[in-house]
């Protein structure tokens, strides 16, 4: 994950949401539609500057970037420093997990999805928002100077690939909202242990 970029250019990253309010609010609305009403056990993994967690009412976030974590704290989020590959949260202690535009920066999404599965309660909900590889947003953002700085090392996935990864790590996909190259998937933790079959 290119943490150094987010550390050095945190203010530029956060400013994008102000400069592209229509796109941001459209994505936020779609995530809100699929994310269950958060309680004190909801968490956003890769909370960034808190632009999704804060308006959704998620009060806990995980974030590796110190600069972005500071911004999220300023928006009322309690932030745990850490990475998705080794989440410092107890097994089965989260009711719901949100992860928006994070999968494209992961070195090993399977490892992260297993961690998300581990921290969720049985039947808990995971909502993923991500830029689709073959959608119209990816090439647009890659030609936008401000976004290119952050996305130049990103690996985009097709919706089918993400669904496959979720299935392999113990999730059942419940709802998919895929439009204009930005996909939102809601999946539930299967009560069966995904490791039991390995």
The pTM (predicted TM-score) of the whole model is 0.90
Topology, domain 3-189: Rossmann fold (3.40.50)
Chain centre distance of CA 66: 17
The residues near 170 (Cβ < 8 Å, ≥ 6 apart) are 114, 117, 189, 190, 192, 193, 194, 195
Does 197 score more than 60 pLDDT? Answer: no
pLDDT tens digits, one per residue of 128-165: 999 998 877 766 666 666 565 666 678 899 999 999 99
Does 93 score more than 70 pLDDT? Answer: yes
Return the domain boundaries, the chain.
Answer: 3-189
Strands of 120-131's sheet in order across: 78-81, 60-63, 42-45, 94-100, 120-131, 182-189, 171-179
pLDDT tens digits, one per residue of 34-43: 999 999 999 9
């Amino acid at each position: 994950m290119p943490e150094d970029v987010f550390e050095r250019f945190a203010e530029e990253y956060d400013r994008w949401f102000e400069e592209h309010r229509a796109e941001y609010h459209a994505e936020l609305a779609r995530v809100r539609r699929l994310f269950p009403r958060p309680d004190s056990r909801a968490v956003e993994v890769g909370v960034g500057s808190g632009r999704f967690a804060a308006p959704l009412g998620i009060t806990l976030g995980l974030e590796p970037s110190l600069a972005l974590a500071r911004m999220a704290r300023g928006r009322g989020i309690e932030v745990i420093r850490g990475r998705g590959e080794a989440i410092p949260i107890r097994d089965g202690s989260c009711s719901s997990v949100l992860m928006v535009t994070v999968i494209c920066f992961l070195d090993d999404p399977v490892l992260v999805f297993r961690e998300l599965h581990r921290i969720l309660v049985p039947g808990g909900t995971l909502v993923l928002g991500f830029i689709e590889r073959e959608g119209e947003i990816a090439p647009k953002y890659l030609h936008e100077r401000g976004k290119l700085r952050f996305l130049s090392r990103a690996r985009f996935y097709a919706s089918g690939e993400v669904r496959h990864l979720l299935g392999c790590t113990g999730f059942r996909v419940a709802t998919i909202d895929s439009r204009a190259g930005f996909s939102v998937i809601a999946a539930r933790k299967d009560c069966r242990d995904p490791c039991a079959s390995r």
